[in-house]
Chains A and B, each alone.
Chain A
Amino acid sequence: MHAPVPAPAAPPKGRLARFLDSDLFYSFRTSPMAILAGTVAALMTLAALLAGLLAPQNAFDPAALNLMDGYTKPLEQGLGSQGLFVLGADAQGRDILSAILFGSRLSLVVGVASVAFSLVLGVGLGLLAGYVGGRIEALIMRIADIQLSFPAILIALLVFGVARGLIPPHRHEEMAVVVLIIAIGLSNWAQYARTVRASTLVEKNKDYVQAARLLGISPLPVMLKHLLPNVAGPVLVIATINLALAIIEEATLSYLGVGVPATQPSLGTLIRFGQQYLFSGEWWILLFPALALVLLALSINLLGDWLRDALNPKLR
């Protein structure tokens, strides 16, 4: 006699299958705007990451440039290298397409790294403020209040200037990208801290946190293992929207001439160069980098908007 076989449970789904079955993916699938924005953002990111393979020219290597190619029009052959310049070339013979690929790679790296930096800083301080309370909370939130009333670009400029003063001049070029990431990151942490503190205040009185404390688990593991997963949702939405803002902020700083060094142009630097040729008719030097920046920022922004609505239970 066989023991009655229990009805086979549904086979455990893989992570991918579960994701494809989720509400989140359904909402993505049914929103044309989200699909379009997601495709554009994914394509641009992919192209930027593969810049080294895709680009006809290493735009960051001054030795690869040929001055004879200067001011080549779009879809024409350069006089020096005889190569085809799909989007034209700038004054130094830098291929605009390559410059955009390398430039958006730099913009994305700075954007993602600075968002990660402000995320860690803001979430950490927000958890600390909400969980510990008292004077530490008052101090952290006071600083966040003051900082939130100043525009991010001003704070980033100040941090950048101070960092320049502290770093010896001959190391400015190599440290520029790191300084930029820190400056943009420091100018955006306050929003995360506020959000995380608010949800921490709610969560920390719930039974599971009380239970964990009663078991004698020390505060740090309680914050990281128990509280963090439960306050992370809104933070992701802010992070997506902030990625677009961080990319624009990087472009603005580079446009102002205080960002990346001129030998490694990001999208903002390219636009700054291009503006000089606005009156002389070399429109391609300005237009294509500007379009790339707008497409990148807009698609990430729209993705963030969609994510916010999709994760908002009130709108379901």
Chain B
Amino acid sequence: MIAYLLRSLVQAALVMLAVAFIAFSMFRFVGDPIASIVGQDATLKDRQELSRALGLDDPMPVQFARFLANAAQGDLGLSYRQGRPVAALLGERLPATIELALLSALLALVVGLTLGVYTAIRRNGLLANVIMSASLVGVSLPTFLIGIGLIYIFSVELRWLPSFGRGDVVRLGWWTTGLLTESGRKSLVMPVVTLAFFQLTLIMRLVRSEMLEVMRTEYVRFARARGIPDRVIHFRHALRNTMVPVVTITGLQLGSVIAFAIVTETVFNWPGLGALFVQSVQVVDVPVMAAYLMFVGLVFVVVNLLTDLVYLMLDPRLRSASAAPAR
């Protein structure tokens, strides 16, 4: 088990190093870092001095090492456009994105599990079939159209919910949350639903097919023969054994949720990291792009590690020393 954990850790570190290297290459080779700081009119001498001061004359491995050391201390350079530290820019927008992503993942998990179990148990029911067909259409719709559709229904026609922004937020230390005010909660509804939609259909279909698989196994039939009530069979025996793949997919999807937030945040003008990233791509603000890449890489690596840990908790077979790695 310790070997399994160690292997996960080493892999995580390698992936992170690769992502950091890509970020560093973008930083160093896309655009001209000096021109973007001093502008077109600087003399050659100024440029050379700045180049030396910034360490751009050092050998590449030295520069990469310095980049890593700085990044580890939270120094991600200055934004070309806004002239402010990138770390501060990301920090301001982090809470908005995290709040959105976590609530979406939670919604997708809860609703996806419920609908998945329901459609599996009432396999031939009318409602179950309607839900399954609706999920198929949902998968083919682009995220931004779902968001625009929601805006049309709930903001334009019904006027219930605001169509952009976070509403009023409450400051808790460096964190900001919209959960404590009414306008903040209202603003969260549509972005959360939009972002959760795709994951929701994915989890639902997965739970359904896994449940159907498990329900056919010997031990479930045996339990039924013993006269154990359906409710107990469904939830204690069947559902529990579908959880391993569900947790994996949900975990892996958490990373995608953060990335899909790029689209959702743009639709709803949500002041989060994704919207910042899109703006930085539009104006080629390389430091912000590189920092966002590192952030997403970090999220993926951490989520993968956590998923591996949850695996260990759910599947006792993995805890034995001889067990093969999960993947």
Chain A residues with a Cβ under 8 A of chain B: 146, 149-151, 153-154, 157-158, 160-162, 164-166, 244, 248, 251-252, 255-258, 271, 275, 278-279, 286, 290, 293-294, 297-298, 301
Q: Once the chains bind, are B152 and A164 in contact (CB under 8 Å)? A: no
| CB proximity to A under 8 Å, residues B10-38 | 15, 18, 26, 30-31
Could you tell me the distance between the alpha carbons of A230 and B181 in the complex, rounded to whole angstroms?
A: 61
Taking a contact as CB atoms closer than 8 A, the residue among B142, B143, B148, B300 that contacts A297 in the complex is: B142
- List chain B residues, Cβ under 8 A from A279: 155-156, 163
Taking a contact as CB atoms closer than 8 A, the residue among A150, A244, A257, A258 that contacts B296 in the complex is: A150
> Which chain B residue lies CB-closest to A247?
B142
Q: Once the chains bind, are B256 and A290 in contact (CB under 8 Å)? A: no
Taking a contact as CB atoms closer than 8 A, the residue among B26, B255, B260 that contacts A153 in the complex is: B260
Taking a contact as CB atoms closer than 8 A, the residue among A150, A165, A271, A301 that contacts B300 in the complex is: A150
* Contact of B110 with A by CB under 8 A: no
| CB proximity to A under 8 Å, residues B136-159 | 137, 140-145, 148, 151-152, 155-156
- List chain A residues, Cβ under 8 A from B252: 149
Taking a contact as CB atoms closer than 8 A, the residue among A149, A271, A298 that contacts B144 in the complex is: A271
- List chain A residues, Cβ under 8 A from B278: 157, 256-258
21 A-B interface contacts by CB (under 8 A): A146-B18, A149-B255, A151-B259, A154-B259, A154-B296, A161-B289, A162-B26, A164-B281, A165-B30, A165-B284, A166-B30, A244-B140, A251-B144, A252-B142, A252-B144, A256-B263, A257-B282, A258-B278, A271-B145, A286-B148, A298-B140
Cross-chain pair count, CB within 8 angstroms = 95
Considering only CB atoms and an 8 Å cut-off, how many residues of chain B contact the other chain? Answer: 39
Determine how close the nearest CB of chain A comes to the CB of B183; give it in whole angstroms.
Answer: 18
Chain B residues with a Cβ under 8 A of chain A: 15, 18, 26, 30-31, 137, 140-145, 148, 151-152, 155-156, 163, 252, 255-256, 259-260, 262-263, 266-267, 277-278, 280-282, 284, 286, 289, 293, 296, 300, 304
- List chain B residues, Cβ under 8 A from A149: 252, 255, 300, 304
Could you tell me the distance between the alpha carbons of A275 and B163 in the complex, rounded to whole angstroms?
A: 11
Q: Once the chains bind, are B296 and A256 in contact (CB under 8 Å)? A: no
Residue from B143, B266, B284 having most chain A Cβ neighbours under 10 A: B284
Q: Once the chains bind, are B289 and A158 in contact (CB under 8 Å)? A: yes
Could you tell me the distance between the alpha carbons of A275 and B30 in the complex, rounded to whole angstroms?
A: 33
Taking a contact as CB atoms closer than 8 A, the residue among A157, A160, A271 that contacts B262 in the complex is: A157
Q: Given the known A-B contacts A162-B26, A293-B142, are A258 and B282 also in contact in the complex, defined by CB atoms under 8 Å?
A: yes
